[in-house]
Amino acid sequence: MNYDQTNIFAKILRGEIPCTKVYEDAHTLAFMDIMPQADGHVLVLPKAPSTNLLDADPATFAPLFATVQKVARAVKTGMGADGVVITQFNGAAAGQTVFHLHVHIIPRWEGIALRRHSGQMEQMDVLKAHAEKIIAAL
Ligand code: 5GP
């Protein structure tokens, strides 16, 4: 595995840089995406290191997707979304920009287009307000 311990999500997992956390357990961490494609866009990471889904230990997936389901339900309820998109990118050519396995949870509303992937930075107070709605629904 070609895992770089200095990637930004490894630093967040080690507590070296901050994140707007919505959920954490022994195996996973979920926090607000800093450049959300929609209001309430959350990332879920396994704590175990792998660059993406292709080089991960399959034992990673049960706790990871248990958290994805738990948080996706809270995103839908807390944000009042009509639906939720789950995405996950493997390799730069597939759109991956941070090389620690992560799953995107993106709420959708009828008639509202998605914003660009890795587009514009959101204000911290806005991310915090969305996180509070999601946490309240967990
Ligand atoms: P990828 O393209 O690798 O699937 O997604 C990486 C995601 O991480 C992007 O949606 C991007 O907005 C988000 N991101 C990049 N750097 C940071 C950061 O420092 N903090 C947070 N919370 N999200 C980040």
With a 6 Å cutoff on the Cβ, whether 118 touches ligand 1 is: yes
Q: What tokens were used for 52?
A: 């993406």
Alpha carbon nearest to ligand 1 atom 13, residue: 33
- The helix (run of H) or strand (run of E) holding residue 24 is strand 21-24
With a 6 Å cutoff on the Cβ, whether 138 touches ligand 1 is: no
Alpha carbon nearest to ligand 1 atom 19, residue: 8
Secondary-structure class of domain 8-137 per CATH: alpha beta
Q: Report the distance separating Cα 56 and Cα 135, nearest Å.
A: 28
Q: Could you say which DSSP state residue 75 is in?
A: H
pLDDT at 1: 66
Measured N-to-C along each axis, helices 124-137 and 61-79 cross at an angle, to the nearest 10 degrees, of 100
With a 6 Å cutoff on the Cβ, whether 33 touches ligand 1 is: yes
Query: What average pLDDT does this structure show over 103-109?
Result: 98
Query: What average pLDDT does this structure show over 110-136?
Result: 96
pLDDT digits 0-9 by tens, 43-83: 999 999 999 999 999 999 999 999 999 999 999 999 999 99
pLDDT at 59: 97
- The catalytic position among 41, 100, 102, 130 is 102
Spatial contact of 106 and 84, defined as CB atoms under 8 Å apart? yes
pLDDT at 131: 98
Name the least confident of 65-74, 83-92, 113-122: 113-122
- The helix (run of H) or strand (run of E) holding residue 32 is strand 28-32
- The helix (run of H) or strand (run of E) holding residue 23 is strand 21-24
Q: Which residue has the tokens 């022994």?
A: 26
